[in-house]
Structure 1
Amino acid sequence: MDIEIESIIALNNFKSNLKKPIEYGNDGFKFEGFVTYYVNEKVETEILQIALIIGGFEPMIKMDLDAKARILVSKKYHLDFNPKFFNNTNF
């Protein structure tokens, strides 16, 4: 099984365990999530608005959808994830 398929399976398992998801578009869900980002020997943690899109053309995760973040911001961190490239992302 390749990384993309393993990641899509992990996203589906994650989605099925969400407590209060809100529908987002045709194929997604929006929720608040506790995100910990490890990069360059630095750890940042924040609660972000997240969109999890599993169906449709390309599954993905978009974090800080409503731009309310103070720590994990797109100017410093990559906040959109595509399953093709999930080699070290944990849910």
Structure 2
Amino acid sequence: MADSFYDRFSPEEIAQLGAGDIVGEAAIVNHSLRTASIVALTPLEMIHFTDEAVRRLCDEMPSFQSALEAVALERFGNGQAQGKA
């Protein structure tokens, strides 16, 4: 089952995410605060990456950085996907 994504200033659903989806990529790519909040509709397992862990992964695996940037670009376009992870 997918989880819904809502704008924190509006009750409007933005997206539903499922297994393997990434959240928080805009904040990672742009070195900024998160842009949305999520609420899990069902139990889930997640992995939390610290800023240091993300930087290390990007340095050691350029494909990791490319994947984060691709997700941010797909979701937000160029407006929020211009940084370097």
Q: Tell me the TM-score normalized by structure 2.
A: 0.23
Larger relative contact order, structure 1 or 2 (CA cutoff 8 Å, min sep 6): 2
Structure number with the higher strand fraction is: 1
